[in-house]
Amino acid sequence: MSTTDYLIEVSVTISIIFLILFYIYYKYNSAKSEMDQVAEKNNYVDTGSYFRDNFGGKTKAIGIKPFLLNDSKSIGIRYIITSIIFFFIAGTFGVIMRVSLVEPTPTLFLNRTVIYDVLTTQHGILMIYMWALGSALGFSYYLLPSFLKVKKDSMGGYSSAAYWIYLLGAIFIVLSRSSTRWYFYPPLSINLNPYNAGSFNWLAVLGMEMIFVGVVIAAVVVIKMIIMDRDDNVKIEQMPLFAWAVLFTLIMLVASAPFFMLGLAMTFYDFFNPVFFVSSSSSPLSFAEMFWIWGHPIVYIAVLPQFGLIYEIMPKFTGNKIYSYASGVLALGLLMPLSELVWGHHLLNSGFGIEWGLFFSTASFLVVIPSAITVFNYIATLWTSAKIRMTVPMLFVVNGIFDFIIGGITGVIQSNLELNEVLHGTYWVTGHFHFIFLGITTGIGFATIYMLFPSLTDGRKYNVRLAYWHFTLTAIGSFIMSMGWTVGGFYGMPRFVAGYFARFQAFQDTAILGGVIVGVAQLFFLANIFVTYSKKPSIPTNNALEDAYNLPVLENGGE
Amino acid sequence: MAERTFSRGMIFGIVIIILMFGGLYYMLSAPTTLNGGLIEPSNTPYKDTINVTLYANALGWDYGVKGDHTNPTFNITVGTRIVFTVIEADTAPHTLTIADSPSESSTHLTLVTTSQLTQITGHSVTVSYVFDKVGTWTYWCEIHPTTMVGAINVLASANTSANANCHVSPDSAQHHSQNNNNLNSFFEFLLDISGAIIA
Q: How many domains does chain A have?
A: 3
Q: Does residue A325 sit in the same domain as residue A446?
A: yes
Residue B21 touches partner A, C-beta closer than 8 Å: yes
Which residue did the predictor score with more confidence, A537 or A137? Answer: A137
Q: pLDDT (tens digit, 9 = 90+) per residue, B109-129?
A: 788 877 778 788 888 888 888
Please give the pLDDT value at position B123.
85
Please list every residue in chain B whose beta carbon sits closer than 8 Å to the beta carbon of residue A175. Answer: 26
What is the spatial distance between Cα A323 and Cα A380, in angstroms, rounded to a whole number? 6
Q: Say if residues A385 and A320 touch (Cβ distance below 8 Å).
A: yes
Please list every residue in chain B whose beta carbon sits closer than 8 Å to the beta carbon of residue A115. Answer: 27-28, 30, 32
- Sheet containing B80-88, strands listed edge to edge, beginning at the edge strand earlier in sequence: B62-63, B48-56, B80-88, B124-131
Mode of pairing for the β-strands spanning B48-56 and B80-88: parallel
Percent of chain A with pLDDT over 70: 93
Please give the pLDDT value at position B165.
38
Tell me: pLDDT of A76 over 60.
Answer: yes
Is A55 among the domain residues? no
What is the spatial distance between Cα A52 and Cα A42, in angstroms, rounded to a whole number? 13
Is A153 among the domain residues? yes
Tell me: pLDDT of A551 over 60.
Answer: no
Domain CATH number, residue A461: 1.20.210.10
Contact assignment for B43 to A111 by CB distance below 8 Å: yes
Is A62 among the domain residues? no
Tell me: pLDDT of A212 over 60.
Answer: yes
Please give the pLDDT value at position B78.
85
Percent of chain B with pLDDT over 90: 5
Please give the pLDDT value at position B164.
35
User: Which residue of chain A comes nearest to B27, CA vs CA?
Assistant: A177
What is the spatial distance between Cα A456 and Cα A453, in angstroms, rounded to a whole number? 5
Query: Cα dihedral sign for A378, A382, A385, A387?
Result: positive
Residue B37 touches partner A, C-beta closer than 8 Å: no
Q: pLDDT (tens digit, 9 = 90+) per residue, A334-350?
A: 999 998 899 999 998 88
User: Which residue of chain B comes nearest to A63, CA vs CA?
Assistant: B8
Q: Does residue A221 sit in the same domain as residue A335?
A: no
Q: Does residue A354 sit in the same domain as residue A464?
A: yes
Which residue did the predictor score with more confidence, A61 or A139? Answer: A139
Q: pLDDT class for B166, splitting at 50, 70, 90?
A: very low
Please give the pLDDT value at position B167.
46
Please name which of A181, A168, A68 lies closest in space to residue A118, comparing C-alpha atoms: A181
CATH label, B48-198, candidates 3.30.70.270, 2.120.10.30, 1.10.286.10, 2.60.40.420: 2.60.40.420
Q: Does residue A35 sit in the same domain as residue A113?
A: no
Q: Does residue A402 sit in the same domain as residue A539?
A: yes
Please give the pLDDT value at position A134.
95
Last residue of a domain, one of A252, A276, A302: A302
C-alpha triplet A524, A529, A533: angle, nearest 5°: 145
Mutate one of B1, B5, B12, B33 to test the A interface: name it (highest A CB count within 10 A): B12
Measured between its terminal Cα atoms, the distance across chain B in Å is 96
Contact assignment for A84 to B5 by CB distance below 8 Å: no
| Nearest-by-Cβ selection for A187 from B1, B10, B116 | B116
Domain containing A99 equals 69-302
C-alpha triplet A202, A120, A126: angle, nearest 5°: 70
Contact assignment for B93 to A191 by CB distance below 8 Å: no
Which residue did the predictor score with more confidence, A156 or A246? Answer: A246
Q: pLDDT (tens digit, 9 = 90+) per residue, B133-154?
A: 888 888 988 888 888 888 998 8
Contact assignment for A89 to B20 by CB distance below 8 Å: yes
Q: pLDDT (tens digit, 9 = 90+) per residue, A450-506?
A: 999 988 888 888 999 999 999 999 999 999 999 999 999 999 999 988 889 989 999
Contact assignment for B13 to A530 by CB distance below 8 Å: yes
How many beta carbons lie within 10 A of that of residue A380, not counting itself?
14
Q: pLDDT class for A55, splitting at 50, 70, 90?
A: low
Which residue did the predictor score with more confidence, A208 or A352? Answer: A208
Q: pLDDT (tens digit, 9 = 90+) per residue, B51-104?
A: 888 888 888 888 866 677 788 888 888 888 888 889 988 888 888 888 888 887
